[in-house]
Amino acid sequence: MNYFSSNFKLGILGGGQLGKMLLSETRKFDIQTYVLDPSDEAPCKIACNKFFQGSLMDFETVYNFGKQVDVLTFEIELVNLDALEKLENEGVKVFPSPKTLKLIQNKGIQKEFYEANGIPTANFKKFASKKELLIEFIETKLPLPFVWKCTEFGYDGNGVKIVRSATDIENLPDVECIAEEIIPFKNELAVIVVRNVSGEIKTYPVVEMEFHPEANQVEYVICPARIDNKVAQKAQEVALKVSEKFNHVGLLAVEMFQTVTDEILVNEVAPRPHNSGHHTIEASYTSQFENHLRAILNLPLGNCDSKVAGIMVNLVGEEGFSGQVIYENIEKIMAIDGVTPHIYGKRETRPFRKMGHVTIVNENMDEARKVAEEVKNSIRVIS
């Protein structure tokens, strides 16, 4: 198949920032792109060959979109699976495949998959409703506190809560959910694994994530993670095992906990480019977005090594501001060496909405971390 400067068409389901960053790589290789997104103001609209507005969960919309392209990928997991299965059966190449997505889309099924495949993960129980969860709590006293997660439609810390009392349970939405044991951990880590159609496989270095205490969103992604080599090796081995069991094509971001006893437990995965890999655009020989493209087109994978230490800072909407976005002090941070802002193209800001990210690269990790702090304290996403 000739992908470059030809009639070949790549379809992307979802037109958010991940799609927009993927499109910069398709532009580099001159690959035609079609994008489907529910919003007429999707960040991807500016950068694809053809943009279609429509629901990603609607069978007909996804099916009709998919019929127009040669290879279909997605930048968000919440897409209509039945449509993807029908398209795949009719010869459209869908990567990662609907089979993989089916095991990941629902967090309950995803957790059961780890259990069945001997992948270390936190203890959990699945419940069909809030009532079931309450009965379990009253009868056997689910030990408090625990982590509550809705099995579907959660993202960026939405759909995840720490339950500390019976009142907290009362206030939860009535949906299928899991109750998960709270893990005392030293670090939250992530490894991105990339695998192409032929089965060539590579991993990026382990990254460490520092979280915002209230928003449950990542504030800093630090690469390489400041951990012992043995722990890093174990994390990469676990990520490779997860990748092998899911049998995915494309990127798989594996989020993990490093426990106080240095065990590695898998928290969850995402079968697409991921927040924990944004630093790769500036810091790695091959960005996660380019490697996702190489993988789904079955091209040789690029070098995943880092050229330099990299830290990513998420730019999220400040509390108390909603409306037309203003990036305050952006020129101040752009005056610092090794600082690159990425603006996602969302016109409207609201509290904690992901609006962009900034990458800091430096030969020296401690220096990079200092600069990251300065960036975090300088730039504000307001309206």
What whole-number distance in Å separates Cα of residue 48 and Cα of residue 30?
11
Residue among 64, 5, 8 nearest 298 (CA): 8
Confidence of residue 1 (pLDDT cuts 50, 70, 90): confident
Q: What is the pLDDT of residue 89?
A: 98
Report if residue 36 sits inside a domain.
Answer: yes
Domain boundary among 44, 78, 94: 94
Q: Are strands 185-195 and 264-270 parallel, antiparallel or unpaired?
A: unpaired
Q: Which residue in the block uniquely carries the two structure tokens 């099916």?
A: 63
Virtual torsion, Cα 260, 264, 268, 273, nearest 10 deg = 110
Query: Tokens 């300065």 — which residue?
Result: 374
CATH label of the domain that carries residue 335: 3.30.470.20
Domain-located, residue 102:
no
**Co-location of 160 and 82 in the same domain:** no
- What torsion, rounded to 10 degrees, do the Cα atoms 330, 43, 41, 52 define? 170
193, 206 contact by CB (below 8 A):
no
User: 191 and 287: one domain?
Assistant: yes
Single-letter amino acid code for the residue at 219: E
Do 38 and 142 have their domain in common? no
- Specify if 112 maps to a domain: no
d(CA 164, CA 126) in angstroms, rounded, equals 18
Query: What CA–CA distance (Å, rounded) separates 316 from 115?
Result: 35
CB atoms within 10 A of CB 230: 9
Q: 154 or 92, which is more confident?
A: 92
Phi and psi at residue 295, in whole multiples of 5°? -65, -50
pLDDT at 217 over 90: no
Q: Does 1 fall in a domain?
A: no
**Confidence at 36, pLDDT banded by 50, 70, 90:** very high
Helix axes 98-105, 107-116, angle to 10 degrees: 100
Please tell me whether residues 219 and 260 are part of one structural domain.
yes
Give the CA distances from residue 337 to residues 22, 224, 342, 344, 371, in Å, rounded to whole numbers and listed in that order: 25, 20, 15, 22, 9
**Is residue 107 a known part of a binding site?**
yes
Q: Is 139 annotated as a binding residue?
A: no
Decide if 343 is inside a domain: yes
Is 268 known to sit in a ligand binding site? yes
Question: 251 and 161 in one domain?
Answer: no
- Do 148 and 229 sit in the same domain of this protein? no
CATH code of the domain containing 149? 3.30.1490.20
Pair of tokens at residue 82: 């039945």
Shared domain for 222 and 360, answered yes or no, is: yes
Contact indicator for 64, 52 with CB cutoff of 8 Å: no
Work out the burial of residue 55: count CB atoms within 10 Å of its CB; fewer than 13 is exposed, 13-18 middle, 19 or more buried. Answer: middle
**What average pLDDT score do residues 306-333 get?**
96
Q: Pick the range with the lowest mean pLDDT from 110-114, 181-185, 223-227.
A: 181-185
Same domain, 177 and 242: no
Q: What is the DSSP letter of 243?
A: H
- If asked whether residues 211 and 77 sit together in one domain, one would say no
31 annotated ligand-binding residue:
no
Mean pLDDT of the chain: 95
Do residue 305 and residue 334 come from a single domain? Answer: yes
Ordered DSSP codes for 319-368: TT--EE-EEETHHHHHTSTTEEEEE---SEE-TT-EEEEEEEEESSHHHH
pLDDT at 216: 67
Give me the domain span that covers residue 156. Answer: 123-181
Q: Read off the CATH number of the domain in which 89 is found.
A: 3.40.50.20
pLDDT-derived band at 219, boundaries 50, 70, 90 = confident
Percent of residues in the chain assigned helix, strand, coil, to nearest 5: 30, 30, 40
333 is in an annotated binding site: no
CA geometry: angle 219, 225, 231, nearest 5 deg: 130
pLDDT > 90? residue 98: yes
| 267 appears as a binding residue in the annotation | yes
For Cα atoms 102, 106, 110, give the angle at the middle one, nearest 5 degrees. Answer: 80
- When pLDDT is cut at 50, 70 and 90, the band that residue 143 belongs to is confident
Amino acid 196: pLDDT: 98
- Residue 326 to residue 104: CA distance in whole angstroms: 36
Is residue 247 within 8 A of residue 100, CB to CB? The reply is: yes
104, part of any domain: no
Q: Which of 94, 111, 138 is the last residue of a domain?
A: 94
Task: Dump pLDDT digits (tens) for 160-216.
Answer: 899 998 889 888 999 999 999 999 999 999 999 999 999 999 999 999 998 877 766
User: What is the number of structural domains in the chain?
Assistant: 3
| Average pLDDT estimate for 283-307 | 98
* Residue 194 lies inside a defined structural domain of this protein: yes
pLDDT tens-place string over residues 343-372: 999 999 999 899 999 999 999 999 999 999
Q: Is 244 annotated to bind ligand?
A: no
**182 assigned binding-site residue:** yes
pLDDT recorded at residue 157: 62
Same structural domain, 35 and 164: no
The Cβ-side half-sphere exposure at 121, using a 13 Å CA radius, reads 25
Q: Is residue 27 part of a domain?
A: yes
- Hey, which residues does 361 pair with through a beta bridge? 310
Which residues 6+ apart lie within 8 Å of 37 measured at CB?
14, 15, 16, 19, 44, 45, 51, 52, 53, 54, 56
Q: Is 374 annotated as a binding residue?
A: no
What's the pLDDT score for residue 355? 96
Question: Which of 51, 78, 94 is the C-terminal boundary of a domain?
Answer: 94
Q: Is the pLDDT of residue 28 over 90?
A: yes
Same domain membership, residue 203 and residue 163: no
